[in-house]
Amino acid sequence: MTVGILGLGLIGGSLAKAYHEAGHRVLAYNRSRSVTEFAMLANAVDEELTEENIGSCELLLLALYPRACIDYLEKMGALISKTAVVLDCCGTKRDICAACFPMAQQHGWLFVGGHPMAGTHFSGFKYSRSTMFKGAPMVLVPPVLDDMELIDRVCKLLAPLQFGRFSVTTAEKHDEMIAFTSQLAHVVSNAYVKSPTAQNQKGFSAGSYKDLTRVAWLNAPMWTELFLDNRDYLLNEIDHIIHALSEYRAALSENDAETLCRLLEEGKKRKEEVG
């Protein structure tokens, strides 16, 4: 199989390495050609992805920011094989699916929204690895939700990545859920570490500090685009946590041990319920 990959950062580089190790031909494009050349030297990529060879790809994986993926498909859409599957790996789905489902229908190829639930707080090809997606969840947003033949086809194409499970949903539901499970966590982590006290934490911090601050170290331009793409759902989650924190603050301010204990017990119980 010939696989085309757009973007050779952490996710795109890991995709390239996984498919190449599985014996597939990998074509890739990166805005900085030096990264593409390094990926070829590293034996992760066979050739650069170009206008001339994109038509040979049976699978095209997009690993850039949502707007950049849309722009690329608008430019290259007519050159993609009508038998190809195009799948993005972006962190939000509504904007890209709204743009790309009609584009795919126009040109005759298949577009599926995708979100591999894997990664690290580091970015760039040098941190990519072929086992990045092994055992991880993968979310799919197909154009038709109950087309099991299509979903089976996509799962087989993605088999070299060794995902642990697949979930199928709509673009709207994906973005609603990801606002809570991923985006809010990044906002809270990034805000938490801005406390002046953080300057003096060495020697006083252990697992809880490390867990809560891990994703504060992020790719700011990428997360800015993702947050703004999903601002309605993310604002809703931020409002929820502000309300919850205000209850803890009020209990502390009023020296109200009973209410504080109840809030803590409620949080503990909720964690037990949701896992």
Mean pLDDT taken over the chain: 95
Mean pLDDT throughout 61-87? Answer: 96
Between the CA atoms of 203, 208, 212 and 215, what dihedral angle is there, to the nearest 10 degrees? 70
Query: Rg (Cα) of the chain, in Å, rounded?
Result: 21
CATH class of 2-169: alpha beta
136 has a pLDDT exceeding 80: yes
Per-residue confidence band for 202, with pLDDT thresholds at 50, 70 and 90: confident
pLDDT score, position 18: 98
CATH 3.40.50.720 residue window(s) in the chain: 2-169
pLDDT score, position 121: 76
Mean pLDDT throughout 167-190? Answer: 97
Classified as helix, coil or strand, 204 is coil
Mean pLDDT throughout 73-96? Answer: 97
Q: Which of 186-190, 195-199, 236-240, 241-245 has the lowest mean pLDDT?
A: 195-199
Mean pLDDT throughout 143-150? Answer: 93
CATH 1.10.3660.10 residue window(s) in the chain: 174-274
Distance (Å, rounded) from C-alpha 264 to C-alpha 240? Answer: 16
pLDDT score, position 175: 98
Evaluate if pTM is beyond 0.85. yes
2 has a pLDDT exceeding 90: yes
Scored b (16 or more CB within 10 A) or e, 200-211 reads eeeeeeeeeeee
Domain over 174-274 is classified CATH 1.25.60.10: no
Q: In the chain, what is the straight-line distance between the N-terminal and C-terminal CA atoms, in Å?
A: 39
Per-residue confidence band for 132, with pLDDT thresholds at 50, 70 and 90: very high
Highest mean pLDDT among 121-125, 149-153, 197-201: 149-153
| Residue 138, beta-bridge partner list | 116, 166
Distance (Å, rounded) from C-alpha 69 to C-alpha 103? Answer: 12
Per-residue confidence band for 87, with pLDDT thresholds at 50, 70 and 90: very high
